[in-house]
Structure 1
């Protein structure tokens, strides 16, 4: 469909109503309509498998479903059946349910590098609990975050380091320091500079940054894989400097392997956090790690107590049932391998389509096959929100909803083929804009905006 003729009147009206009632028009900033071309931010009616339908009746092949959380596809039968069974039995009680024990056993059988686990409803709570625990066990105030990773938590220790730092005291932000991914010497220098002050190193085990060594194949040997070697080096530095090593596996969990990047690369962190794919859209996250640390949040120790995680809804039975169904499905059906296969097919097709239409140097697919993102570059090869807007408009009009190219296991070969065809058409228009030296005529309104910015 011609993007100039593509309109979403019902979605537009619903967006206006959302902005009147919900700050930002969405409950997650990454889902805001400012992330999409003007007046082309669809409001979703429902989804099934790899497809979603908007309130205007349009069907899309969807990528990055639920901000990477729906990795099995929407309304996956095995997950939905497990949830339904628990809903008839009650969802929350005044004491732990048996499901909490079963889910913990099932999780730790999969993530065998951890010895204890505590569940929560979102990743921010889990990562903040990890930081709090690290500070408690080390007695140190500072947190070292990887600067190449865009998000760790909504809490002050991290958000204060972003452009959206309003309302956060500098005294809090000053306690967070940063290190670059892949540079062990820089980490060693940071730990030396703040000797005895840094409680933890927290990072995603891999990065999407262009210089990352982490986009290669699934080797598990630190001797021949740069990611494994880097993580092994971090483990040694954390041990040498007496700080806690935390892996944020919100994205890498399940998409890299069932046990996350730590399972793939064979490097064991002290603590790790999981979420997103764990519930296939249901709200469940996890903090896992070594017993000696995790027990500080428990009742069987003589040290000062740590208020680790204590959430009213953290152990809702239906969400934990969803997590167990997801864990079983990944293992029984080889989901991680399917994600990689679909991603490889998509990446190959998109790259070929872009190259065939003269956009191969400007629409660039990056990342691990199970977690693909794309960059939109201008005439000078610089990242461009204007060209991203042009590209997204063309994709939406072609029935592809793709803030990224992160696949789900529900994606079919036909879905990939359709996406590649739409990308080819989009890149033909992209080439016209490059030749004109100005994408503005193809935007039909303001460009999309980055999530983290100081002014609205």
Structure 2
């Protein structure tokens, strides 16, 4: 049964999703293949299990339809089952997906990618972001002969591999000796980064960071990092998993005009299909190739990295972004949504507590308590009210498939959620509105 939007009442329940979640936990550690999709990220017993999606909407196994934000952890930026992407994929499915030698699709996809991101000179495709970022780190270590990785401490995720996961509260299984080789620098602080590079003089192989997140880079910051990397002889790596295409068709490096040595892309690149990319300077990338005289670097070698249908999806995405001005549309949608949420929050007296942040194409929200501190209980309250109103929104990251009616409905639901938020603030305790345990942060030591 398609109930269009679930009723916005305290009686909103998801019995089939709850049963499906139990089945998931019985067979899959964590009940999902990505921790950020876990049911601990949603109010208790209100974690929808998805049946299918189209455009900006998804349906759960209980028959409820939702307007979806943050689709596929930001990967589905054109909307689900986008016709242009599906058509490109379908054309390849009957032609075989994987061969004993490279397919012509691989060079066509590389040409299309490098035409869209002209700051890079070579590209190698893979299936997920972690493999691409780890390959970039390995290449930097090989090129410099140095052991340490310097990562931006203010950015939440880089890889599932030990060099990063060892720095999180979920470091179980990572040897201490590995952890010691990763050091951190703060975003936006060139002096602190220079101090770090001086302290570990000639030991740091690379600086790796997202060029921008929920805050814009301070004036001159990225150019300053470029200069620091050059002066200290280390490789500058931009993780463009999120900024790629959402900031501009050529990524954040294209928008801000600062060229990294290496960069990694994923998420939006395949509109939900599994494809990522490591791109960068020819002299570095060639170290993972066959046409150089130095020591070989095992850069990326994945059986499924060049599946034809995923590369066809990537080409369709790149073409759509350029020809249809998708990045501009994402910004316009995000600006309208952000303004509406701020107005709704202010009207309900919670403008200092429900806070929208980030670039318009990549909006997140903060839920703050009476003391204006981040609050998981208040986030739980807010998510519960959004879900009950037919809005699935772990963030407010937009897709280009949203229309005016979707935004209008979202803002109506946000206003209703903010009214309840105000009641909780006045009571000094959101607990009566939670109906269960609060949502939890992804990175924590104990389950």
- Cross-structure match for 1:439: 430
Partner of 1:344, secondary structure, is helix
Q: 1:422 aligns with which of 413, 431, 434?
A: 413
Instruction: Please say if 1:138 is aligned against 2:129.
Output: no
- Cross-structure match for 1:352: 343
**In 2, Cα distance between the equivalents of 1:194 and 1:333?**
47
**In 1, Cα distance between the equivalents of 2:380 and 2:27?**
26
The change in CA–CA distance for 1:77 and 1:213 in structure 2 (over 3 A counts) is: closer
- Cross-structure match for 1:22: 28
- Cross-structure match for 2:245: 254
**In 1, Cα distance between the equivalents of 2:119 and 2:412?**
43
- Cross-structure match for 1:410: 401
Instruction: Please say if 1:165 is aligned against 2:149.
Output: no
Deviation for aligned residue 1:87: 0.3
1:87-126 correspondence to structure 2 within 5 Å: 87-126=93-132
CA RMSD after TM alignment? 0.6
Partner of 1:255, secondary structure, is coil
- Cross-structure match for 1:327: 318
Deviations 1:177-198 (A, max 9, x none): 0000000001100000000000
In structure 1, the gaps of 5 or more residues are: 215-225
Deviation for aligned residue 1:213: 3.8
TM-score (norm 1): 0.96
Q: 1:270 aligns with which of 254, 261, 265?
A: 261
Partner of 2:365, secondary structure, is strand
Deviation for aligned residue 1:2: 3.8
Deviation for aligned residue 1:4: 1.7
**In 2, Cα distance between the equivalents of 1:213 and 1:370?**
12
Deviations 1:103-140 (A, max 9, x none): 00000001100000000000000000000000000000
**In 1, Cα distance between the equivalents of 2:332 and 2:216?**
20
The change in CA–CA distance for 1:213 and 1:278 in structure 2 (over 3 A counts) is: closer
TM-score (norm 2): 0.98
Deviations 1:332-353 (A, max 9, x none): 0000000000000000000000
Answer yes or no: is the 8 Å Cα contact 1:201–1:246 preserved in 2: yes
**In 1, Cα distance between the equivalents of 2:235 and 2:8?**
54
Answer yes or no: is the 8 Å Cα contact 1:3–1:393 preserved in 2: no
**In 2, Cα distance between the equivalents of 1:331 and 1:299?**
33
**In 2, Cα distance between the equivalents of 1:183 and 1:389?**
33
In structure 2, the gaps of 5 or more residues are: 1-6
**In 2, Cα distance between the equivalents of 1:398 and 1:84?**
35
Instruction: Please say if 1:81 is aligned against 2:72.
Output: no
Deviations 1:407-435 (A, max 9, x none): 00000011001000000000000000000
Give the total of aligned pairs.
441
Instruction: Please say if 1:234 is aligned against 2:225.
Output: yes
- Cross-structure match for 1:184: 190
**In 1, Cα distance between the equivalents of 2:273 and 2:307?**
10
Q: 1:194 aligns with which of 191, 197, 200?
A: 200
**In 2, Cα distance between the equivalents of 1:133 and 1:37?**
42
- Cross-structure match for 1:218: none
Q: 2:361 aligns with which of 341, 353, 370?
A: 370
Q: 1:64 aligns with which of 47, 70, 82?
A: 70
Answer yes or no: is the 8 Å Cα contact 1:148–1:207 preserved in 2: no
Partner of 2:383, secondary structure, is helix
